[in-house]
Amino acid sequence: MKAEGVAERWCELRERVAEAALRAGRRPEEVKILGASKGQPPEKIREAFSAGLTLVGENYVQEAEKKRAALRDLPLSWHLIGYLQKNKARKALALFDLIQTVDRPEIARKLSGLAEETGRRLPVLIQVNVGYEETKAGVLPEDLFELARLVKDLPGLELRGLMTIPPYQEDPEAVRPYFRRLRELRDDLREKLDLEGLTELSMGMSHDFEVAVEEGATIVRLGTALFGPRPPKGGA
Ligand SMILES: *Cc1c(COP(=O)(O)O)cnc(C)c1O
């Protein structure tokens, strides 16, 4: 990529997202860019905010806690995009505006109970393991309906959509079937559960986001393409 700073990269990425959307007959405004900022210092997020970023995704509860404190003055929306352990649920609820990684009944019930205590309804996405990878989190497609019905009925949660991390492929075109699958799963669920609000599709990362947008992504999660290479561990 030729652009150098975070602000320049933001502008270039917005353009590429817009072009991909238009290619698929979609409106560019339908696609939000989430800055996947794990391992990046708060200053990088601040730079991106100045350029137009409003949505931040963090993988770890503790790391998010520090950065949120450092960026308290900015009106950012924070999403959890990493695996959530049950014993971190309370903290996660306090830190995040939306949790993208609900993937099992146990964590859904836990979050709902905690949200209810605070009189809140927490927006969530369900993470789906569309590639059937043993190393990845996410509910399997055949178990999705059951979990989605549970989440829909839990009083502390509001089901907004689906999220996936497909198998890594060198060629972004090879990932297209996984993105398409997630869209089909969402469309199917929306109809079966009669849930108008089930709209979000969080899919696509730095090397394959254009294909994801062509297949219907509403949130693309960009890390290195926006912030540059992640500093070595401990560098944030
Ligand atoms: C790190 C990460 C990203 C961003 O990855 P890049 O390839 O750097 O864009 C997106 N989603 C999740 C869940 C991540 O952990």
d(CA 195, CA 42): 37
Does 224 score more than 70 pLDDT?
Answer: yes
Does 235 score more than 80 pLDDT?
Answer: no
Q: Which residues is 228 bridged to in the sheet? A: none
pTM attached to this predicted model: 0.96
Q: Are 56 and 79 in contact (CB under 8 A)?
A: yes
Q: Are 101 and 85 in contact (CB under 8 A)?
A: no
Per-residue pLDDT averaged across 178-182, rounded?
98
Q: Are 161 and 200 in contact (CB under 8 A)?
A: yes
Does 3 score more than 90 pLDDT?
Answer: no
Best probe residue, ligand 1, of 81, 100, 169, 179 (max atoms within 8 Å of C-beta)? 81
Q: Are 181 and 130 in contact (CB under 8 A)?
A: yes
CA–centroid distance, 58 to ligand 1, in Å, is 9
CA–centroid distance, 116 to ligand 1, in Å, is 30
Take atom 2 of ligand 1 and give the residue whose Cα is closest: 36
Give me 215's structure tokens: 């297949």
Best probe residue, ligand 1, of 205, 208, 230 (max atoms within 8 Å of C-beta)? 205
CA–centroid distance, 118 to ligand 1, in Å, is 31
CA–centroid distance, 36 to ligand 1, in Å, is 6
Take atom 13 of ligand 1 and give the residue whose Cα is closest: 81
Does 142 score more than 70 pLDDT?
Answer: yes
For residue 74, the model assigns a pLDDT of 98
d(CA 42, CA 27): 31
165 CA: nearest ligand 1 atom: 13
CA–centroid distance, 20 to ligand 1, in Å, is 19
Q: Are 78 and 68 in contact (CB under 8 A)?
A: yes
Cα 219-225-231 angle, rounded to 5 deg: 115
Per-residue pLDDT averaged across 41-58, rounded?
98
Neighbours of 171 (CB within 10 A): 10
Take atom 11 of ligand 1 and give the residue whose Cα is closest: 221
Domain annotation for the chain: domains and CATH numbers: 6-223 (3.20.20.10)
For residue 231, the model assigns a pLDDT of 86
CA–centroid distance, 170 to ligand 1, in Å, is 15
Tell me which amino acid residue 186 is.
R
Ligand 1 binding pocket (C-beta < 6 A) is 36, 38, 59, 81, 165, 205-206, 221-225
Per-residue pLDDT averaged across 220-235, rounded?
88
For residue 57, report the phi and psi dihedrals to the nearest 5 degrees.
-120, 130
Neighbours of 193 (CB within 10 A): 16
Q: Are 233 and 46 in contact (CB under 8 A)?
A: no
